[in-house]
């Protein structure tokens, strides 16, 4: 199953189909595939073709599983792992993951949140293995899908994987923070990498009424685009952890945790707020706010992009709790 092999020559096809059916059955039972069109995509797109090798975490770092392992047990573990509901590291650099195949249930949640319609054009930021682009192509057709990644090695591999699976969307090497103006406008943008803020060029590359679904902090924000300078929306309930976007967009500051109680750091919801307001709000102020407001869930938070500014907020875009995104921190503008 070398990269680029045709599907009919895939020696793992029968076993993969059974594993894929088990995965889809589990996803559907968990409520992740309410749309029959997306269920069909997950049933029919062979994930294993997109991860001919991948890395799984161990106590000593990472173990590499691969399709051509000389040990049959190694090949079995590789194939079964390809159809687990788990993220898979696909590329290491200097010991750090720089690309991954996302967890299928999370992918299903994000694709559902896109709310696509027949004929919609979609820009994916972060080509990864190419699997998500294949799901989009299955649903919408190759001509309606563009996927972008900054790393030519990643786009080359994604293109080969897509070809092996019978899909041929546009695969572009470029900085995803800048979008893909040559193929705009888009009806939907979906990012599969973590953002510190919303890249300012994205709404301008969307048609009015478009949706942007993207990881921010440790959540997924869903924005509705009103026009080139205005987009707004709330976070989905689910948590999300992605490889960071690489490119022109400045990285988000690491949150400070010194002196915070262990019960706060053990809370996924508090760490979401702490990451969202990192560099904008003192960690102890964030903790006091979180307790005072009843330990708010992710869907109470949102993001607004307007007139060259953008900010995250709790409950109300114009309310008392708002924190700027994508610009230097200023203590006089931090909410709370």
Instruction: Say if residue 169's pLDDT is above 90.
Output: yes
Domain assignments of the chain as residue spans, ordered by start: 7-239, 262-333
Report in angstroms the alpha-carbon separations of 102 from 31, 132, 177, 326. Answer: 18, 8, 19, 25
Which residues sit opposite 223 in a β-bridge? 212, 233
Q: Number of C-alpha atoms within 13 angstroms, CB side, residue 39?
A: 15
Write down the mean pLDDT value for the chain: 90
Phi-psi region of 279 (alpha: psi -120 to 50; beta: other; left: phi over 0): left
Tokens 């696509």 appear where? 116
Q: How high is the pLDDT of residue 251?
A: 62
Q: Which of 99, 100, 102, 137 is catalytic?
A: 102
List, in order, residues 6 or more apart from 255 with CB less than 8 Å away.
271, 274, 275, 278, 283
Neighbours of 336 (CB within 10 A): 19
Instruction: Say if residue 335's pLDDT is above 90.
Output: no
Report in angstroms the alpha-carbon separations of 89 from 39, 62, 121, 201. Answer: 24, 9, 28, 29
Instruction: Say if residue 5's pLDDT is above 70.
Output: no
| Segment 83-98 mean pLDDT | 86
Contact predicate 84/26, CB 8 Å:
no
- Per-residue pLDDT of 256-288, as tens digits, reads 777 788 888 889 999 999 999 988 889 999 999
Contact predicate 240/106, CB 8 Å:
yes
| Segment 60-75 mean pLDDT | 93
Instruction: Say if residue 248's pLDDT is above 70.
Output: no
From the list 191, 267, 270, 197, the residue with the least C-alpha distance to 231 is 197
Which residues sit opposite 232 in a β-bridge? 224, 304
pLDDT tier at 99 (50, 70, 90 boundaries)? confident
Pairing of strands 170-173, 186-191: unpaired
pLDDT tier at 3 (50, 70, 90 boundaries)? very low
Report in angstroms the alpha-carbon separations of 1 from 71, 156, 160. Answer: 15, 17, 12
pTM for the structure as a whole: 0.91
Contact predicate 89/62, CB 8 Å:
yes
Q: How high is the pLDDT of residue 73?
A: 97
From the list 280, 277, 324, 319, the residue with the least C-alpha distance to 305 is 324
Phi (first) and psi of residue 202, to 5 degrees: -65, -50
| Segment 81-96 mean pLDDT | 89
Known catalytic membership, residue 102: yes
Looking at CATH, the fold of the domain delimited by 7-239 is given as: Rossmann fold (3.40.50)
Contact predicate 79/48, CB 8 Å:
yes
């Amino acid at each position: 199953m070398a990269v680029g092999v045709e599907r009919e020559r895939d020696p793992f096809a029968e076993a993969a189909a059974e594993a894929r059916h088990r995965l889809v059955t589990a996803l559907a039972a968990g409520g992740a595939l309410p749309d029959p069109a997306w269920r069909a995509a997950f049933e029919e797109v062979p994930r294993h073709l997109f991860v001919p090798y991948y890395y799984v975490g161990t106590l000593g770092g990472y173990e590499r599983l691969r399709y051509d392992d000389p040990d049959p047990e190694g090949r079995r573990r590789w194939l079964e792992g390809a159809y687990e509901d788990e993220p898979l590291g696909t590329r290491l650099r200097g010991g750090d993951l720089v690309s991954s195949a996302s967890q299928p249930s999370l992918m299903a949640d994000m694709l559902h949140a896109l709310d696509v319609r027949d004929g919609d054009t979609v820009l994916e930021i972060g080509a990864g293995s190419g699997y998500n682009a294949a799901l989009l192509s299955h649903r919408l057709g190759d001509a309606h899908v563009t996927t972008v990644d900054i790393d030519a090695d990643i786009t080359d591999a994604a293109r080969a994987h897509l070809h092996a699976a019978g899909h041929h969307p546009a695969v572009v090497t470029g900085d995803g923070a800048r979008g893909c103006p040559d193929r705009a406008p888009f009806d939907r943008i979906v990012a599969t990498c973590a953002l510190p803020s919303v890249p300012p060029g994205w709404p301008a590359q969307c048609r009015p009424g478009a949706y942007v679904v993207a990881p921010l902090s440790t959540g997924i924000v869903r924005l509705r685009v009103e026009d080139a300078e205005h987009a707004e929306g709330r976070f989905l309930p689910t948590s999300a952890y992605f490889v960071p976007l690489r490119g022109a967009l400045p990285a988000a500051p690491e949150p400070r945790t010194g002196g915070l109680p262990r019960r706060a750091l053990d809370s996924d919801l508090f760490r979401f707020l702490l990451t969202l307001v990192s560099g904008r709000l003192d960690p102890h102020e964030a903790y006091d706010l979180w307790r005072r407001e009843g330990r708010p869930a992710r869907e109470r938070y949102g993001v607004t992009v307007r007139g060259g500014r953008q900010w995250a907020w709790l409950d109300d875009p114009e309310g008392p709790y708002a924190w700027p995104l994508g610009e230097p921190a200023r203590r006089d503008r931090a909410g709370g």
